[in-house]
Amino acid sequence: MSKKHTIIASFVEKVIKGFFGILPAALVLMVIFWIYGKIESFVNSYIFAPIGFSPERNEPLWIALFVIVLIVGLFVLGFLIETRLAALFGKLIAKIPGYKTIKDMIEIFNSSKKGDTKVLVVAIPGFGSKDSYNIGLMYSQKESIIKDHYTVSLSMSPIPNGGFMFEVHKKEIFIIEEASFDHNLQYLLSMGVKSLAEILKTQPRQIDALMPFEKWLETKQNNANHTLQQ
């Protein structure tokens, strides 16, 4: 390989690495700036203009006010989502065609979900040697059309915008309890450069040390029975 080709390949590699390094922050900033523009336009027209306040002449004050309002607004929204009012609103808006599908797709990336709705990071028998395993996700813990089988998704790397779905027997699913959707995403984006153990800051362990999905199901059923008894 020529020296010129090596330099070009190294340059392209660094550019790609820089792109994916800045992409998560860029996407977050794009959303924040979009919200910022919408709020600024609304506030300028209906609040600041009547009282004669000009954000352009008081930029630091306006930015501080925006950050405070955004954080408070998100907190209130997060609180209301757990109330009956939000549930009622959800039932009404769910009648709009396509809304439920879009909502379910967005909920996939909500790493704050807990309990039965949490996305589980799991290990299932792999495609290599007899003792190999693949790391996948369980977006739902509902039983498949095949009895005692559950759906596990294996995403592509480094861009997890596709992948494969498998119906796996519950005895062959092991839960990595401390791992979240975000941890799995980091693992995929690293293309294996970072191991999942490194991302979780834990030590590698035997497969038998992971929680069997069967045990998780039993715990879920026991909790449900306990709730009914109360």
Q: Do the domain assignments include residue 74?
A: no
Does the pLDDT of residue 126 top 80, yes or no?
yes
Terminus-to-terminus CA distance in the chain, angstroms? Answer: 72
- Greater model confidence, 85 or 201: 201
Residue 3 domain-assigned (yes or no): no
Position 47 scores a pLDDT of: 65
- Phi, psi angles (nearest 5°) of residue 151: -85, 125
pTM across the whole model: 0.55
**pLDDT digits 0-9 by tens, 68-115:** 877 777 677 666 666 666 666 666 666 666 556 656 655 655 555 555
pLDDT tens by residue, 38-50: 776 776 666 666 6
Average pLDDT, the chain: 76
What is the count of structural domains for the chain?
A: 1
In a domain, 97, yes or no: no
Cβ within 8 Å of residue 55, ≥6 positions away: 40, 43, 44, 48, 62
Q: Residue 206: is its pLDDT beyond 70?
A: yes
- As beta bridge partners, residue 212 has 174
Residue 50 lies in a domain: no
The dihedral sign for the CA sequence 43, 54, 48, 75: positive
Domain that holds residue 211: 115-229
DSSP state, residue 128: S
The answer to whether residue 211 sits within a structural domain is: yes
Q: Report how far residue 65's alpha carbon sits from residue 184's, in angstroms, rounded to the nearest whole number.
A: 36
The whole-angstrom separation of Cα 215 and Cα 212 is 5
For residue 29, pLDDT over 80 is answered with no
Whole-number pLDDT of residue 196? 92
Could you tell me the two tokens for 130?
């007899």
- Are 121 and 183 in contact by the 8 Å Cβ rule? The answer is yes
Does 89 map to a domain?
no
Which secondary structure element, helix H or strand E, spans residue 124, and what is its range? strand 120-125
Residue 62 in domain: no
**Helical H segments across the chain, by residue range:** 3-43, 49-51, 59-80, 84-93, 99-107, 181-189, 196-200, 213-229
List 137's β-bridge partners, or say none: 121, 153
- Decide if pLDDT at 138 tops 80: yes
Q: What percent of the chain has pLDDT over 90?
A: 27
Residue reference for tokens 């996305």? 119
The CA distance from 160 to 125, in Å, is: 20
pLDDT at res. 149 = 96
* Domain contains 130: yes
Beta bridge partner(s), residue 120:
138
Q: What is the mean pLDDT of residues 201-228?
A: 87
pLDDT of residue 69: 74
Residue 122 β-bridge partners: 136, 175
Residue 128 confidence (pLDDT) above 90: no
C-alpha distance from residue 66 to each of 27, 53, 69 (Å):
19, 15, 5
pLDDT grade for 214, boundaries at 50, 70 and 90: very high
Higher pLDDT, 75 or 171: 171
* Mean pLDDT (whole number) for 132-156: 92
